[in-house]
Chains A and B, each alone.
Chain A
Amino acid sequence: MKPVLLAAFAALLPGVTLAAPIREEGAARRGLAVYHQVCSVCHSLSHVEIGDLAGLGLSDRQLRDLAADIQVAGPPGPDGTPTTRAANLSDRLLSHFPDEASARAANNGALPPDLSEIARTRQGGAHRIFTLLTGYTDPPKGVSVPDGQFYNAATHTHLIAMPPPLADGAVTYDDGTNPTLAQEAHDAAAFLAWSADPHRSARHWLGGVTIAFLAVLAGLVFALKRRVWSRV
C-alpha cells in the first residue's frame, strides 16, 4: 500500500508545478504597475488591501508611495459634499465608480468584473488572461462587430465589451523593462495570478517541508513498529 501512496504523490507533484507557470515575483510586481496605470481605471481588486501588496515584495516605503497615489472616498465635507483623501495601507483597491450603475453607464452597459479572484474563477487562469489581453485583432473579412463590442480571438463568441486595454508603451515600468504588449499582458496575468492565490509560494514550501518531515517520521515509526512487532 505504501509504495502506491508514494507513487501517487510523486505523480501529483509535477502536475502542481505545471499548473501555473506564469508566476514570478518581478513579473507580478510589474503587473501591479499595469493594474495601477491601466486596469484600475475601470476594474476593482476589491478584496486586496494596499498593505497586502507587501506579499509581492514591496517595501513599506513603496507601499506608502503607492497609497499616496490612490484617491479614495473620504468623509463628507462640512456642507455634506463628497470628498476624497489619499489611501492608506488598510484601504482596498476598490473601483473608481461609486456604484454598478455608473460603472455600466461608463462602459457601454457592461460591468467591468472585480479582478481579485479572476485568475481562479475563469477557466484557464493566468494563461487565459494573457491570451485575452493579447487576443485583440482586426475582425476577419465578413465578420461584423456590433457597436460597443470588440473582436477578440480568445473569447468564445470572439466578441468582448472591453476595449483593447494594453498596447506597446501603454505602461511605464520603473525597472527599465521594455513595455511591449506581450510583456504587459504577461505581467498583468502574473499579478492577477498572485491576487487569486497570494500565498502560493509559501504554500508550496510548507507542503514540501511537511511531506519531507512526515516521510522521515513515517520511516522512524515504521522502524519502531517492526521492532515492536518482531516480538510476536
Chain B
Amino acid sequence: MTPATRLDLDPDQAPEPATGSWLERRLPVGRALRREYRDYPLPRNLNALWFFGAFAVVTLAAMIVTGICLALHYTPTEAGAFDSVEAIIRRVPSGWILRSVHMAGASCFFAVLYVHIFRGLYYGSYKAPREVLWLSGFVALLMVMATAFFGYVLPWGQMSYWGAVVVGNAVAAIPLIGHPLAGMLLGGDAPGAATPMRFFVLHMLCGGLICAVLFIHIAALHVTGSNNPAGIEPRSPADTLPMHPFYTTKDGVGLCLFLAVLLGLAFLAPALLTEADNYLPANPLLTPPDITPEWYFTPFYALLRSVPSRLGGLLLAGAALAVVAAVPWLDRAPTRSARFRPLARPAWFAMAASFLLLGLAGSHEATGFWLWLGRLAGLYWFLHFLVLLPLIARIERPLPLPTSLA
C-alpha cells in the first residue's frame, strides 16, 4: 500500500495557489477565515434553535474574560478564599459586575448547552456523518461540567465545601483507585487546606481545555456542515446561504436577546440562580440541612442519590451521560429529523420531560415522593435510549422527506 501523497488528491481539493499579500502567501489565515466564516454555506432553513451554538461560544468568551479578571483578585487558600470573594463583590472596582456576570454566565452556559444538545437529539444531528461532531460536543459538555464544579467550590462557602464533600465521596466510591483519586483531587481525606489551590488550577485548566475541545467541535462542524430542521443534506446551492450576511444578522438578533437574558439575570435577579447558603463561610463541623447543587447538576444528583449505594449512584449518573454519547449507535434510523418520525417525535418529548423531572427530583430532599419520582424518571431516561430508540428505528415508518430545503 502506498502512502497517500499530495499528488493523489483530487485537483479540486488541492490547496489553493499561494497568492495575495506577503502574509497570506505564508499563512493564509485571511483566506481561511473568509472561507469558513463569510462564504461558509449554511442550510437556508435553520431556525432559532440553531442560535444556541453561537450563544455557547459567546458565553464561553464572557466566562474567560470575567474569569481571568476574577482570578487576579482571588486567593486560593482555605483561610483567604471566602474573604477574597467578599472583597471582590464589595470593594474591587467593578468586581461585583464581573462576579455577577460570571455566575449568571455559568447558569446560562448550561441552559444553552442543554438546549443545544436536546435540539441535536430532536433533529438527529448526531447521525452519520456527524458522529465525531457529536462526540466532540459530548467531551466539551463533560469539560464544562468539571469546570463548573471546580469553580463552584472556589468561593469556599458552605455549599462549595459540602458540594466538594459529596463529589469527593462519589469519587472515593470507585473500586480500587477511588480513595487515592479522591485524596489526590481534594488534597486530603476531606476538602481542606490544599483544596482551593487544586480546584483553582483545575478550574483554569479545564476552562482552557474547553476552548481546545470547542476548536475541534467547530472544525468537525465545518467538515460536515450544519444539520437543519428538515434533516436532509442540502442538494443544490439554492438550498444554502452564505454565513455572512445571512446568518451573521440572524444570529445577531438572537444574540441581543440572549445577552439581555444573561445580563438581566446577572443584574436584576441574581438571587434566582444563587444558593444563599454559599454566603456562609465553609464550616466542616456544620453539615447544611440539605445539600443542593446548582440547578444544572440536579438531574445527575437525582441519579446519584437514587440507589442506596454510592458506587451504584455514580455509575448511574455516568451511564446517563454515556447513553447520550452513544446515541448515534443506539438510534440507527436513517431519517434524522423527528419532524418526519411519528414515533421518535413523541418519544423525544417524553425523554425531555424525564430529564426535567429528574432535575426537579434532584432539587428536593431524596425521600418519599421525590425519591421515587427521580427513580422513575431515571428509569425512563435509560428506557428511552437503550430500548425505545433502537426499537423505534426498526418499526417506525417515517413520513416522506422533502426533496429540497428551498
Binding site for B on A (CB under 8 A): 1-2, 5, 9, 12-13, 15-16, 19, 47-49, 51-52, 116-117, 120-121, 123, 196, 198-199, 203-204, 206-208, 210-211, 214-215, 217-218, 221-222, 224-225, 228-229, 232
Say yes or no for B83: interface residue by CB 8 A criterion.
yes
Known: A225-B249, A228-B245. A218 touches B279 (CB 8 A): no
CB < 8 Å neighbour of A211 from B87, B264, B277, B279: B264
> Cβ of B271: which chain A residues have Cβ within 8 Å of it?
19
- Give the residues in chain B near A204, CB-CB below 8 Å: 267-268
Contact at B257–A5, with CB atoms within 8 Å?
yes
Does B332 belong to the interface (CB within 8 Å)? no
Of all chain A residues, which has the CB nearest B244? Answer: A228
Contacts of B100 in A (CB 8 A): 203
**Distance, CA A221 to CA B269, complexed state (A):** 26
Q: Is the CB of A232 within 8 A of B44?
A: yes
Q: Is B131 an interface residue (CB 8 A)?
A: no
Of the residues A12, A117, A218, contact of B253 by C-beta under 8 Å: A218
Question: Shortest distance in angstroms between A136's beta carbon and chain B's nearest beta carbon?
Answer: 25
User: Given known contacts A204-B268, A210-B263, what 10 new A-B pairs fall within 8 Å (CB)?
Assistant: A15-B269, A19-B271, A47-B87, A121-B280, A196-B279, A207-B266, A207-B267, A215-B256, A218-B260, A229-B246
Tell me which residues across on chain B come within 8 A of A206, comparing CB atoms. 97, 267
Which residues of the other chain, A, contact B261 by a CB distance below 8 angstroms?
A: 5, 9
Given A49-B91, A117-B279, A228 and B249 contact (CB-CB distance below 8 Å)? yes
Partner of A214, one of B83, B256, B279: B256
Within 8 A of A (CB), among B205-237: none
Interchain nearest-CB distance for A129 vs B (Å) = 14
Given contacts A47-B83, A48-B90, A222-B253, contact A16 B268 (CB under 8 A): yes
**A-B interface contact total, Cβ < 8 Å:** 97
Q: In the complex the two chains form, is A207's CB within 8 Å of B264's CB?
A: yes
B-chain residues with CB within 8 Å of residue A51 when the two chains form the complex: 91
Pick the residue among B44, B90, B266, B270 that contacts A47 (CB under 8 A): B90
Whether B241 is near chain A, meaning CB under 8 Å from some CB there, is: yes
Q: Is the CB of A211 within 8 A of B83?
A: no
- What does the 1/0 interface line of B27-56 toward A look like (CB < 8 Å)? 000000000000000001000100000000
- Check: B391 CB closer than 8 A to any chain A CB: no
Are A221 and B256 within 8 A (Cβ)? Answer: yes
Given A1-B48, A203-B100, A9-B264 contact (CB < 8 Å): yes
Cβ of B96 and Cβ of A203 under 8 Å apart? yes
Contact A225 B256 (CB under 8 A): no
CB neighbours (8 Å) of A211 from chain B are 260, 263-264, 268
- Write the residues of chain B forming the contact surface with A, with a CB cutoff of 8 angstroms: 44, 48, 83, 86-87, 89-91, 96-97, 100, 241, 245-246, 249-250, 252-253, 256-257, 259-261, 263-264, 266-271, 276-277, 279-280
Grouping DSSP codes into helix (H, G, I), strand (E, B) and loop, the A interface class, with mixed when no group exceeds half, is helix
How distant is B154 from chain A, measured CB to nearest CB, in Å? Answer: 17
Determine which of A52, A217, A232 lies in contact with B256 in the assembled complex, contact meaning CB atoms within 8 Å: A217
Q: How far is the CA of A203 from the CA of B265 in the complex (A)?
A: 11
The interface residues of chain A lying within 8 Å CB-to-CB of B245 are 228
CA–CA, A16 and B271, complex, Å: 9
Shortest distance between the CB of B100 and any CB in chain A (Å):
7
- Give CA–CA (A224, B87) in the complex, Å: 43
Question: Would you give the shortest CB distance from A18 to chain B, in whole angstroms?
Answer: 12
A-B contact pairs, 29 of them (CB 8 A): A5-B257, A9-B264, A12-B264, A13-B268, A47-B87, A47-B90, A49-B90, A49-B91, A116-B86, A121-B280, A198-B90, A204-B268, A206-B97, A207-B264, A208-B268, A210-B263, A211-B260, A211-B263, A214-B257, A217-B256, A218-B257, A222-B253, A225-B249, A225-B253, A228-B245, A228-B246, A228-B249, A229-B246, A232-B241
Count chain A CB atoms within 10 A of each CB in B260, B261, B266, B276 and give the residue with the most. Answer: B260
**Residue contact B279 to A120, C-beta cutoff 8 Å:** yes
Chain B CB within 10 A, most for which of A5, A19, A196, A228 = A228
- Known contacts A47-B86, A120-B279, A207-B267; is A9 also within 8 Å of B260 by CB? yes
User: Which residues of chain A come closer than 8 Å to B279, judged between CB atoms?
Assistant: 117, 120-121, 196
